[in-house]
Amino acid sequence: MGLMDWLREGITGQKICPIEHLEAYKRLGEQVYALHAELAGSGSPRAQAYVQAARSLRTMADALIGDALDGDEPKPVPIVTHDQADAWYGALPDIMVAARQEAAFAHSARTPLPVTLGGQIEGPKPCPEAHLAGLRRAAGDMEELLRLDVDLARNEGERFKEAILLFEEARTRRQAGDSIVGTISNGRRVSPESHEEAEEQYWIALSNFILIAQGLKDPELLKRLPARANRSHSAFKTCKLDSDDIWKVTSELAIRDINRSGERAQAIEDLTEHWELFVETPVEREYETTVEELLAQGMIKEDSYWYCCPFPSVYRVNAPYVRVLGHQIPRGHVFVFEYGDDGEPGRFITQKSFQPADERKYCED
């Protein structure tokens, strides 16, 4: 990146993508078209679901970027828009590999179904109007992409019940976002909360649309999903909670201290009892998947660990701020999810700092 481009990004929040990057995006989109044609005759519902997931991500990413893809010269877009589109385009190769593998041999693909949007890229609050406009285009294009197939599915209502119900919610969410964005684009001053609400409505709509696209090809995918889990964009992602390891959420720092202090047998007994009684809710899953995404992006780092069993990691924020379980946490603050004892609900805790504990607390303490 040139010096002037770097300064422009820092001052305006706009990102100019190198032309070769945009050209790569276009080629990825063309590969999705080719994949769709190649596997059109495949009788595998799962392979078709992967194809539809790829088509959905390409459609959303193209719409989000808008006319930045047109012409010989790249056009600036908000940094959050560029990064979100980059995440969606970047997911395409793995999904296309999975589609071809599944078409060749049933249940051979490693990418889990259904494919979801993953974590939403965090940007400034309220998000730039250009980003909202991109989300609006993405939701509108997805609704048009799916409308005819949903209308045909209504002829087999019970088989496609879950997809049809999700479509009704998605288009309603899209309309709600349009109503708010319409007020903003008319030049009227609105609260940051309203601005953020529009972004949330569009995200829920898009999260549903990608599921609908897959469910129209393989209805069983939606029948196995937890009720109302579609409201959380990270609800379907695998995470450490899916492991049978009793140490799955325990901080490596805690494991080191437990081993050094001779408490390993006591810890194993406590952790075994904890997970036997544990009742998972969407809150724990959303927390763990969000944390994994923030760690991968370098926006948080492990700072210490919580003193109560199962001794989860405490994280410190590196970015200007992050959003976790609906909380906006500024740079330098710490947070943790305290898992409840004996199957009781846990709680999210955040503040400027935590006072270090002198020792670890076990259930019988």
Mean pLDDT per 10-residue segment, the chain (365 residues): 41 52 74 92 94 95 82 73 84 92 90 83 78 91 95 91 92 87 60 75 93 95 62 54 87 90 90 88 84 85 91 91 86 92 86 82 64
Say what the pTM is: 0.61
Burial call 284-296: b when 16+ CB within 10 Å, e when fewer: bbbbbbbbbbbee
- Our measurement of the distance from residue 164's CA atom to the centroid of its chain's CA atoms, rounded to an integer in Å, reads 22
> Please, which residues bridge with residue 336 across strands?
349
- Phi, psi at residue 98, to the nearest 5°? -60, -40
Q: Residue 137 CB: number of other CB atoms within 10 A?
A: 18
> H-type helices in 216-344, by residue range?
220-223, 252-260, 264-277, 282-296
Residue identified by tokens 């700072």 is 303
Burial call 48-69: b when 16+ CB within 10 Å, e when fewer: bbbbbbbbbbbbbbbbbbbebb
Cis peptide before 345 (omega within 30 of 0): no
318 exposed, middle or buried (CB, 10 Å; 0-12, 13-18, 19+)? Answer: middle
pLDDT of residue 362: 73
pLDDT of residue 21: 64
Three-class SS state of 191? coil
pLDDT of residue 200: 86
* Contact indicator for 141, 63 with CB cutoff of 8 Å: yes
pLDDT of residue 233: 42
Strands 334-338 and 327-330: unpaired
